[in-house]
Every structure is written in C-alpha cells, then in structure tokens.
Structure 1
Amino acid sequence: MHRAVPVIGWGAFKIGRNQGAKYPSAFDIPSETDAIALVRELIKDGVRLIDTAPAYGLSEERLGKVFASLPTELRSELFISTKVGETFVDGVSSFDFSQAAVTASVTRSLAKLNCAFVDSVFVHSNGSDQDIIQESGCVEALDELKNKSIIGSVGFSSKTILGGEIALKHPLIDAVMLEIHPDATDMLTLLPLAHELGKAVFVKKPLSSGTLDPKIALPWLLAHKHITSIVVGGLNQKRLRENFRMACQVS
C-alpha cells in the first residue's frame, strides 16, 4: 500500500442505501442532515478510514459534503476507499467492468466525494471474479489511474476463495477485501499468501451484518496478524465508538 492503513475503519453503506424490500428488517437511511452529523462525529471520534461505493446510493455524495468542509490537515489524515463495477440507480443494481466504465466511475466518485485523489479503489465483484480480473480490463484501468496519482492503490473485493487467490496473485492488485469473521473462516486460508506477496487484506462484514457480538468478533479478527484493516458498518454512533476504541486497545 502507498501509505499506512488504519487498523479499523467505517463502512458507509447505511448512510446512502437501504437493503431493499426483500429484507424483512430493512432499515431506512438517515436524512442528509443526520447522515452528515454522524460522519462528522465519527471523524471527531478518531475514525480515519472510510469505505464507500457508487453502489451505496447517496453515500459518496453525503461523504463529499463532509470532506469539503474539513480543514486540509484533518482531511489529509483520512484514508478513503471507494469501488467500481457496480452502480445503484432507481433501486436497481447494474454491473459494468469495462475500462471505459471503470474510468468514468472513478471520475464520478471523485466529484461526489469532493476529492482529487482517493487512497484505494476496489473492484466491486458480482461473483465472476476470474472473468472480471482476467478479461474485463478493469484492473488495468485502475492501474492507469494509479500511475497518474489519481488513486493510491488497486483493490479487489472478492466473494470466493478462488477469486481472492487470483486477485492476490495479480501483479497490478495491491489489496483484497474479503468477508472474514468467526462464522466465515474459509478466507483465512488466503492470509499467508497475502503476507507472502505483500498484499493488504481488508475485512468486510466483520460482524456478519450485525449478527455477531463485536466483543468476540473484533478481538478474534485482530488476533490474525496478516489482516490489514477491518471495516465495520452501522449507524449507531455509541456502538461504533465502542467498537473502534476496543479495536484500538486490542491492536
């Protein structure tokens, strides 16, 4: 990675998009005012890694309104990651991994985030990892943006062990994002490979979408020394603050 990565960060899915009607427990996204207030408070609490995506609805736009108002020194402390490949428009997800689409997606994200540069961009896989990596040209498009100092690193968010392995072995990919927690341990087999190749590992859904106790799941994850960063989601500021403080103490 081009710079140090915070050991724990925040996933900004819920400030911009709900899970949809197919989920019985679907939540309502907060108002823009409440979303912006939450982001400000999390940054005040010490959160320095924020992960978002075009597929997270209004997330990038709302984050951008916060970033634009931050003092330059504080903004420079933030590690910002977003994604390409999936978009979410009018309640419908669509995927496009072509070079042109990826480049255009990053341009849109930068504008929404009010950033000239983001630290990492992950390919938001639809599950066809091997085809996406080897045939779509998306990784090459991101590498070109990296060479132009528009993004800091190229990442791949994988849903499968095979996809994660292919991504780790790709010379242009710097990081992978994997779902790992006490109820999903298969991806742990990739950690030695990531360490050997010097690739970063970001953990998504560390609490299994809120079903796991953070007092158990987070220390368990932090005990695996080859995990680079853990991305925790949610809207409850008090709970998030407790999670971040606990993770920092354990690490």
Structure 2
Amino acid sequence: MNSATTHRVGGVELGLGLIGIGRPWPTPESAVCPTEQAWALLDRAIELGIRFFDTAAAYGQSEAVLGEYLAGLSAARREELLIATKCGEVWPAPEDAQPDHSLGALETSFERSRLLLGRIDLLQLHKCTVDDLRDEHLLAWFEGLRTSGEVGAIGVSVSSEEALRTALDAAVFDTVQFPSNSANAGFTTAFAEAERSHLPLLNRPMASGALAGTGNPFTFHAEAFRRAVVLTGTTRISHLEANAAAFASAMTPTTPDQDR
C-alpha cells in the first residue's frame, strides 16, 4: 500500500479522463476525436497544470494516441506526469458480455498497455467486483506487478458501493476509482466512513451532465475530500478550460473581504 507514485498527489487535484480520444463518446454516435485534436487537448491540459491522465484498454485507441504523445515529450516532462490505465475490459465487447478478469486475459491486456504507453504509473482493475477482491490469485498478481516495479501503483475502478467497501477493506490497492458528485453521494460517504489511506480517483463529477448549470459541481469535492484526483472527461479545449476554471474557483477558499 501507499505507493510513492500516488503520494505525488497532494490535496485535491484535477485530472483528465481520456475515453474521448480513443472511441466514440459520450454517445455511440459521436465522432472519434482526431489525433491532432487529442494532442492539442493534452498540450493544453499540461499548460493548465493537469498532471494526472486516466486511460484504459477499453478506451479504443486512447492508449495508442496517448502513448505516441508521451513518446514525444522530454524525459523531464514525462516524469512530471502520472499515467493511469486499466485492464479487465475490452471494447467493443459482445452484447451482455462480462469483463474477463482471468489472469491470462489481464496479463495480455497489461502487456499491450505497456507496449503502447511505455511506463505505467498506475494499473487499475476495470469494473472490479466483490468476487474479484476475494480472488487471492488476482490480488497476488497485482501486488507482484507493484513489488517488481513493473507498475508504480495498483488500484481498482468500481461501480458499486459494495465493491468500494470491499476494496478498501482488502488493504491491497493504492487507489480506488468511483463516481463522486452531489447528485449521488453514496460512494463518497462510503469512502469517508472507511477512513482508509487509499487515494480516491473521482469520476463523473458532473453526474454525466446532470449537474450542468446547477452551480459549481467541484465545490462538493472541495468540501468532501482532503486528497483526491477529480477526473474530468472532455475532448474540447474550451470545455477543459471551463472545467479547470471552475475547479480552481472551488478549491480557492473565499474570505469575508473577497465576498464583499
């Protein structure tokens, strides 16, 4: 636990989710973000101070596009970034197919991700379930990657509160990724009640758009967390800039003088 990699995150930081640069998103009818646009987005994100980038094997060409971008950075700039990816799900997947979390499938996915990205700072299990967290062989495999230095840190991405609580109790992983927003605070409450040292990675901060136009959604995260990465997903620079401005505003405490 407590990898030095994830300890580089101090306070509550803004990260960028990269599903949109690799596959149609946010709807199946959406156009895939062109590589040139994706690289411009990554450039602007770094200019805005974003250092955490989250991709996945299931994000289509996202790992490949990001990997090519990273290969063009200086060693010093790459060292500043935290690159997270996920294994355990593929895209496109057969209808109603369940993620394949067998060790063979995970190993194949990991090797492909490493080939595309180079160094992986954080490897997460995508759509982690309670059963996964009771699989000693699966847990040992993840721990082995961290111990050997093949990845900097290990984590899980969950979609149920039960899986979140089980992951926190397992005390194996460095990070937990889960939905967190004011429209559905159950995951956030479960994390707070557990009082663990895992780094929380917070997705769907705007409740998939449901909180648009309802005030600053990042105020919720500023009040609920002392340390976290809030993942915003977009392919448009203007949207990224608006999110970064809202995030900075939420993280800056106001004083009576400032309110006058």
Q: TM-score range by the shorter chain?
A: 0.7 to 0.9
Contact in 2 for aligned 1:120/1:154 (Cα 8 Å): yes
Aligned to 1:179: 179
CA offsets per residue over residues 187-245 of structure 1, 9 Å max, x none?
A: 12223245x32111111111122332385211111211245110000112122123223
CA distance in 2 between counterparts of 1:247 and 1:228 reads 13
Q: Which residue of 2 aligns with 1:153?
A: 153
In 1, distance between residues paired with 2:225 and 2:238? 27
Q: Does 1:58 align with 2:61?
A: yes
Greater gyration radius: 2
User: Which string of whole-angstrom CA distances, capped at 9 and with x for unpartnered residues, describes residues 83-116 of structure 1?
Assistant: 0100114887762212232222122111111x2x
TM-score by length of 2: 0.85
Q: Is the 8 A contact 2:127 2:156 kept in 1?
A: yes
Matched, 1:222 2:222: yes
Whether the aligned pair in 2 keeps the contact of 1:102 and 1:138 (CA below 8 Å) is no
**Structure 1 partner of 2:20:** 14
Number of the residue aligned with 1:99: 103
In 2: Cα distance, 1:5 partner to 1:87 partner? 29
In the alignment, the residues of structure 2 paired with residue 125 and residue 158 of structure 1 have an alpha-carbon distance, to the nearest angstrom, of: 5
- TM-superposed CA distance for 1:136, in Å, is 7.2
Shift in CA distance, 169/90, structure 1 to aligned 2, threshold 3 Å: closer
Which deviates more from structure 2 when the two are superposed, residues 52-61 or residues 140-149? 140-149
Counterpart secondary structure, 2:120:
coil
What is the TM-score of this pair, normalised by structure 1?
0.88
- Provide the aligned C-alpha RMSD in A: 2.3
Sequence identity of aligned pairs in percent? 25
Structure-2 residue corresponding to 1:68: 71
Q: Counterpart amino acid of 1:13?
A: I
Q: After superposition, where does 1:1-251 map in structure 2 within 5 Å?
A: 1=2, 2=4, 3-5=7-9, 7-19=13-25, 23=27, 26-89=29-92, 95-113=99-117, 115=118, 117-125=119-127, 129-135=129-135, 137-194=137-194, 196-213=195-212, 215-226=215-226, 228-251=228-251
Consecutive unaligned residues in structure 1, runs of 5 or more: none
Note closer, same or farther for the CA distance 1:219–1:33 as it changes in structure 2 (3 Å cut).
same
Letter in 1 for 2:200: V
Distance across 1 between alignment mates of 2:191 and 2:98: 31
| CA offset digits 1:51-103 (Å, max 9, x no partner) | 00010000000001110000111111101110010011488776221223222
**Do the aligned partners of 2:86 and 2:123 also contact (CA within 8 Å) in 1?**
yes
Cα drift, residue 19 of structure 1: 4.5
Q: How many residue pairs were aligned? A: 243
Distance 2:188 2:229 in 1: 14
SS of residue paired to 2:36: helix
Please give the alpha-carbon distance, in whole angstroms, between the structure 2 residues aligned to 1:48 and 1:135.
Answer: 33
| 8 Å CA contact 2:14, 2:229 repeated in 1 | yes
Distance 1:101 1:73, change over 3 A: same
Show CA shifts across 1:4-63 (max 9, x none). 22611000001111148xx5x732112222222222222233221100001000000000
What is the letter of the counterpart of residue 43 of structure 1?
Answer: I
The residue identity in structure 2 corresponding to 1:124 is: H
